[in-house]
Amino acid sequence: MSVKCMIRDVKDYVGQTVRIGAWLHNKRSSGKIQFLQLRDGSGYIQGVVVKSEVSEEVWNDASKLTQESSLYVTGVVREDSRSKFGYELTVTGVEIIQITQDYPITPKEHGVDFLMDHRHLWIRAPRQRAILSVRAEIIRAIQQFFDQRGFNLVDPPILTPSSCEGTTNLFHTKYFEEDAFLTQSGQLYMEAAAMALGKVYSFGPTFRAEKSKTRRHLIEFWMIEPEMAFVDHEENLRVQEEFVSYVVQSVLKNCAAELETLGRDVSKLEKCVAPFPRISYDDAVKFLQDKGFEFTWGEDFGAPHETAIAESYDTPVFITNYPTEIKAFYMKPDPNRPEVVLCADMIAPEGYGEIIGGSQRIDDPELMEQRFAEHELSSEAYQWYMDLRKYGTVPHSGFGLGLERTVSWICGLDHVRETIAFPRTLYRLYP
Ligand code: 4AD
Ligand code: MG
């Protein structure tokens, strides 16, 4: 009798016969023994087929297996300290489901375009599997963090009538007779939700028709957007640093094997514990000028600037109080210095750039009206948003964490395109 199980659970079946649905990842053969590298999505295990111990049929079926052939394998689980997986399977039976011919992704090196064209298969590779598995852990940690702290999950709409983060990179679509846009950020709706539920967060896809072809930009990316009533700028930063530390420490605890597969230097991540340093925009500008950058107050930072600033720290760093001019219309000005806003970007270490953008929001109805005029936003489209300032306005703050940039940093990747199963990038909609 065999028990059906998944590879990750074989530790519970040492000495027993199990049956596993699997794909052949790789194979070695000595003529008398075949070593099958098997994967089932939950993990990897080596199946050992000994010619003298199995029927001719089992031996021959095992010999036919090619890369990515699918099968049910039956065998006895053995503890094996030499194997990097810790366990081995002494194979007693092989049931072929399909012998795969000409699997396009071979163990040799392939170019990025080729791999991206075959992304639907590429995600089976150990490295890609590890990344997607870390991503899933990050999402679990995010939800745990907020759920444990009394936040309610709220889902803002994806089809929207107006913009949140400026009108230049909106995806336009039709909503029957009306014009509509794919959401750039759920924030404005989350502000309404915070007035109803106090502390809320959203987690969903957002879209930016950005013509940027960088290693940090996706056209479709996932964002976590908490929004909190009665929370000011300073309190907002404290939530962010605790949140990011929690996520990193959860990955270190639960994804050690994946981080090893990725060759991630975990000592760098271990240092990521709150509180995080803060540097004002003003000081960041001075710092850059001292480093020889040509940079004037009022400009926005680009990737090289962010990287130069982040290099001074082991943990993420907050850059606070940016010029009002270069930030979104809804950010609250510093009461003592209205030319800057009560905002912060969190910059990840090691050159991964901005992972969080957040701020305290304008709560004063008159100032909000004034901003609509300055930014040429039709007050009709934002009528409902104004209502939040009219009916019991309160100080409130929130932020948005970009999931893919966070995955990219924690996994130590060169490019954000590997952080999501099917990335949407500037020139790619397939597969
Ligand atoms: O700084 P952003 O544009 O902020 C907002 O959208 C706010 N409304 C969030 C809020 O306060 N609720 O975007 C937030 C984060 C960035 O820090 C970055 O991590 C990520 O979203 N992001 C992108 N990630 C991948 N590709 C892109 N094109 C991204 N644009 C922003
Ligand atoms: Mg930003």
Mean pLDDT (whole number) for 346-356: 97
The CB of 218 under 6 Å from ligand 1? The reply is yes
Cis peptide before 275 (omega within 30 of 0): yes
**What is the structure's pLDDT at 108?**
87
- Residue 236 CA: distances (Å) to CA of 79, 244, 390, 400, 415: 49, 13, 23, 11, 29
Mean pLDDT (whole number) for 268-297: 98
Architecture of the domain defined by 3-98 = Beta Barrel (2.40)
Given a cut of 90, whether residue 257 has pLDDT beyond it is yes
Polymer length in residues for the chain = 431
DSSP for residue 289: H
Q: What are phi and psi of 361, to 5 degrees?
A: -100, 155
Question: Rounded to whole angstroms, how far apart are CA atoms 261 and 66?
Answer: 23
Give the helix/strand (H/E) hosting 72. Answer: strand 70-79
Residue among 330, 405, 413, 428 whose CB has most ligand 1 atoms within 8 A, to mutate: 405
Mean pLDDT (whole number) for 205-224: 95
The CB of 357 under 6 Å from ligand 1? The reply is yes
Q: Which residue has the tokens 């889902």?
A: 155
Report field, pTM of the whole predicted structure over 0.95:
yes
Given a cut of 90, whether residue 192 has pLDDT beyond it is yes
Structure tokens at 8: 């990750």
Domain boundaries, the chain: 3-98, 119-419
Same fold? 3-98, 119-419: no
Atom 7 of ligand 1, nearest CA residue: 400
For the CA of 401, the closest atom of ligand 1 is 15
**For 79-102, how does the pLDDT look when each residue is reduced to its tens digit (9 = 90+)?**
998 887 899 999 999 999 999 999
Amino acid code (one letter) for 282 = D
Contact of 175 with 156, CB cutoff 8 Å: no
For residue 399, the CA-to-ligand 2 centroid distance in Å is: 10
Per the prediction, the chain carries an average pLDDT of 97
Mean pLDDT (whole number) for 233-259: 98
**For 229-241, how does the pLDDT look when each residue is reduced to its tens digit (9 = 90+)?**
999 999 999 999 9
Structure tokens at 149: 């702290």
Given a cut of 90, whether residue 372 has pLDDT beyond it is yes
How crowded is residue 277: how many other Cβ atoms within 10 Å of its Cβ?
A: 12
Among 2.160.10.10, 3.40.50.620, 3.30.930.10, 3.90.660.10, name the CATH number for the domain at 119-419: 3.30.930.10
- Beta-carbon contacts of 259 under 8 Å, excluding residues fewer than 6 positions away, are 130, 134, 251, 252, 266, 269, 411
Q: Which residue has the tokens 């990025």?
A: 112
3-class secondary-structure state, position 20: strand
Which of 331, 313, 317, 319 lies closest to 281, judged by CA?
319
The CB of 344 under 6 Å from ligand 1? The reply is no
**For 100-134, how does the pLDDT look when each residue is reduced to its tens digit (9 = 90+)?**
999 999 988 999 999 999 999 999 999 999 999 99
Structure tokens at 162: 């107006």
The beta-strand segments (E) located in 316-413 are 317-320, 333-334, 337-341, 343-348, 353-360, 396-402
- Residue 359 CA: distances (Å) to CA of 133, 259, 304: 31, 32, 23
**What is the structure's pLDDT at 328?**
97
pLDDT level of residue 167 (50, 70, 90 thresholds): confident
pLDDT level of residue 166 (50, 70, 90 thresholds): confident
Given a cut of 90, whether residue 135 has pLDDT beyond it is yes
